[in-house]
Amino acid sequence: MSDREKTFVDDIDRELYDFRFDSTDSYRLESGLTEEIVRQLSKEKNDPGWMLELRLKALDIYNKTKMVEWGPDISGLDMDKIDTYVRSNTTMKGKWSEVPEEIKETFERLGIPQAERESLAGVGAQYDSELVYHNIREDVKKLGVVYTDLESAMHGEYEQMIKDHFMKLVPPTDHKFAALHGAVWSGGSFVYVPKGVKVEIPLQSYFRLNAPGAGQFEHTLIILDEGADLHFIEGCSAPKYNVANLHAGCVELFVGKNAKLRYSTIENWSKNMYNLNTKRAICDEGGKIEWVSGSFGSHVSYLYPMSILNGKGSSCEFTGITFAGKGQNLDTGLKVVHNAPETSSVVSTRSISKSGGISTFRSAVTIMPAAKKSRSTVSCQSLMVDDISRSDTIPAMDIRTPDADVGHEATIGRISDDAVFYMMSRGISEEDARAMIVSGFAENVSKELPLEYAVEMNNLIRLEMKGSIG
C-alpha cells in the first residue's frame, strides 16, 4: 500500500488583527516583577489597603511557587522583560466619540462599536492595562444590572461584595500564574445581575493588547443572583511582535441558585502571546454555567475553564474548539468538579492541528462522594490536517461514588479523502473543500455563538486553512 501524496497549504497574513499603533506616549512601569513595582502599581490604581495586601501576598506566593512540570514549554517567557502595566494617555470614557482617535480606530477596525450598536447590552473595551471605554444600555441599567470597570466598583457601594469574592474562587495559591495575576492585575469588569433579572442581550468585554513586550492581567468578576440570566461574551486580539507578550487574566463567575450564565470567548491573541489564563465558575443549587470557547491565537496557551457544581441540580455545558497552527502550542481543555447530588456536565470539544501546530486537550472530571445521581459525558474529537502537526488527548476521571454515571469518548483522525473527493466532484476546489470540512468540524461551537461571532470564528478558520497550494 503506497503512502498518499499531500497537498501543501500555506498560512496567510492575519492582517485584520495584525495592526498596531505607536505606544511610546503610554505610561509604563519598568519591566520585571519586584515588590517595588507591585507597590507602585497599587499606588497608581489607588487600591484600598486590603487590595495592596492581597497583591503583596500574591507576589510572595508567586516567588515561592514552582512552575508545573507538564504542558508546553514557556522558557521563552522572561518576566524581567515584561511590562506589567502600560496605560494610554486617556481615562475611561462612556462614549466612543470621547475615546482618543487611535484607540477608537483600533476598536472600529475590530467591529466593537458596531456590534454594540447592533446587538449588545453593554461593552467594556480594554486597551493594554486599562479600560478605555465602558457603557451599558439605560434599559439594562434600570433593571439593576451593574456592568462597570472593576476598579470603580471597588471604590464604591460594591466594595464589600467585591472584597468577599475577589480571588476567592481562584486564590493566588492555585498556581504560579494565578499568583502573578493577584500581584499585578489591572482592568477588567465587574458584573452583578440582581435576583430574577434576565438580560436579554449579551454584554461584551474586548481586550486589545497593543504594546510590545507588555502583559495584560485583567480580572473579570461576575455575580449572578438567584434566578438571574446573562450571556457574557469575551473577545481578544493583539498585533504580532517579535517579542513575547503575556496574558494572565482571571475570570471568576458566581452563579446563584437557579441562575444561568453563558460565557463565550473567541480568543485570537497574536502568535507571540503566552496565554496563561484562569477561568472558574461555581454554581449554587439549580445554577447553570455554559462555556463556549474558541481558541485560535497565542504562541502558547494554558487554558482550562473550571466548573464547580456545588449545589444540587447544578449543571455545566462546555463547547469548545481549538485550532493550533504554525508555531502554536495550545494546551486547552476543562475541569469539572461534581460536589452535590444530581449535578450534570456535558462536554463537547474539537481540536484541529495544522502546519506543525500542537494541540492538546486536557481535562479532569471529578465526581465527589456527595455527587449522588450525577452524570457526566465528555466527547472530544481531534482532527489532524497534516503529518507535521501533533494532537494529544489527556483526559482524567476521578470517580468516588457508585451512584453516578460517567461516559467519555475521544477520537482522532484526518480529513476524509472520500469527503474531499466528493466535494471536488461537485466543482469545489480542494482548498475550499478542506476549509469547509474544517468549518463543519467546528460547527459544535459556531452554532452556540451569536451569528456575528460565528461568522468571525468561521473567518478565522478560513484564514488558517486557505492559501496557495503547492
Partner 1 sequence: MQMDNGMITVNNLPAPTWEKLKVNRAAVSVCTDYKEASMVCKAGDDPAVTDDAGTIESFSAIKTGMGDEVSSLFGRLQSEGKVSPRLLTASGKTVLKIEGKGAESLAGRLLIDVPEGKKATVIMDISGAAGVLQTLVRSGKDSDLELIQVIRSSEDKDLLNDIGSEGSEGSAFKLVQVFMPEKSIYAGCKALLSGRGSRYEAYIGYDLDGSDVLDMNYHAVHTGKDTESMMNASGALSGRSEKTFRGTIDFIRGAKRAVGNETEDVLILDEGVINKTVPLILCEEEDVEGNHGASIGMPDEETLFYLMSRGISREEALAVLRRSKISNAVMNISDEEYRNEIMGLIYDRD
Binding site for partner 1 (CB under 8 A): 1, 3-4, 68-70, 360, 362, 364, 369, 382, 384-387, 389-414
Burial class (CB in 10 A: 0-12, 13-18, 19+), 366: middle
Beta bridge partners of 383: 352, 413
Output 395 or 467, the one with its CB closest to partner 1.
Answer: 395
Shortest Cβ 40–partner 1 spacing (Å):
34
Count the neighbouring beta carbons within 10 Å of the beta carbon of residue 13: 10
Radius of gyration of the chain (CA): 22
- Minimum CB–partner distance for residue 267 and partner 1 (Å): 21
Task: Judge whether 223 and 189 are in contact, CB under 8 Å.
Answer: no
d(CA 59, CA 37): 11
- Shortest Å distance, C-beta 360 to partner 1: 8
Listed in sequence order, the DSSP H helices in 210-278 are none
| 350 and 441 Cβ atoms separated by less than 8 Å | yes
The residue (of 49 and 402) whose beta carbon lies closer to partner 1 is 402
Cβ closest to partner 1, residue 6 vs residue 198: 6
From the CB of 167, what's the least distance to partner 1, in Å? 19
Residue in this structure with the C-alpha cell 455545566, named with its chain if needed? 316
Residues 459, 286: Cα–Cα separation, whole Å: 36
Q: Given the complex with partner 1, which of 143 and 358 has the nearer CB atom?
A: 358
Cβ atoms of residues 19 and 239 within 8 Å:
yes
**What angle do helix axes 49-64 and 176-184 make, rounded to 10 degrees?**
150
Shortest separation between residue 219's beta carbon and partner 1, angstroms: 23
Tell me whether residue 178 or residue 259 sits nearer to partner 1 (CB atom): 178
Q: Are 57 and 50 in contact (CB under 8 A)?
A: no
Of the pair 165, 362, the CB lying nearest partner 1 is at: 362
Contact 465, 452 (CB under 8 A): no
- For residue 414, the minimal CB distance to partner 1 (Å) is 5
Closest distance of CB 434 from partner 1, Å? 13
In 286-360, which residue ranges form alpha helices assigned H by DSSP? none
**Nearer Cβ to partner 1, position 90 or 444?**
444
Alpha-carbon distance 435 to 467, whole Å? Answer: 10
| C-beta closer to partner 1: residue 256 or 325 | 325
Residue 300 Cβ vs partner 1, minimum distance, rounded to whole Å: 16
